Structure 1
């Protein structure tokens, strides 16, 4: 298992590098100023971190109540990931629409693009992180 220090390094590295890559890329792709995309990226990072904590706590309690166990099968992991992203979408989409003055549909498309970026980024980041900092 990884140490607490290692987990903190992993999380901070993930968020900081993600922000450095995402904000300029989103600014280029969506045509908004870097400052606007930077604010959205930082707020998204905070919302995702807080949502992650509470969502996993609620999900584990639900699993304990329904199954008596918190171990996840492949199907439960897929459901867990989909519900996490769906909840994050519901939390974040109205904020994007309001902040940028766009429709909920436009915010939905932007949110899907952000989620796609972060899924790919998470895969690459975690793969490289495990190579640079192997599990002891």
Structure 2
């Protein structure tokens, strides 16, 4: 298991490198100023982080009440993911449309592009991170 410090390093590097790639890439792709796309990236990452905490807490409490357990089947994980992403769309699309002065449908397309980027980026980042910072299985003090 990774230590708390390692998890902090992972989260910070993930966000900083992601923003460093996303911001200029999205500015080019959507023909918007880099500064505007930087704001979109930072706000989106912040909202996603806060929503992740709130949503997962609420989802687990609902599961405990309805099922008596937080154990997730594959079907529940699919529902969990879909509801999480739907919540992000509801939270971010109006902001993106307002901030960039674009329509809701254009903001939705932009958001879909962001999600697609981060899916690929997260996959690659985690492989590289695991190779750069391997887990030392002999570390008895490592915590969840």
Match of 1:3?
3
Match of 1:74?
74
Mapping 1:53-92, distance limit 5 Å: 53-92=53-92
SS of residue in 1 equivalent to 2:102: coil
Mapping 1:1-136, distance limit 5 Å: 1-135=1-135, 136=137
Report the TM-score, using the length of structure 2 for normalisation: 0.90
Runs of 5+ unmatched residues, structure 1? none
Runs of 5+ unmatched residues, structure 2? 138-144
Report the TM-score, using the length of structure 1 for normalisation: 0.95
* Distance in 1 (alpha carbons) for counterparts of 2:8 and 2:62: 27
Query: Shift of the alpha carbon at 1:41?
Result: 0.6
RMSD: 1.1
Aligned length: 136
Structure 1 moving runs of 4+ over 3 Å: none
* Distance in 1 (alpha carbons) for counterparts of 2:121 and 2:109: 18
Q: Which has the larger radius of gyration?
A: 2
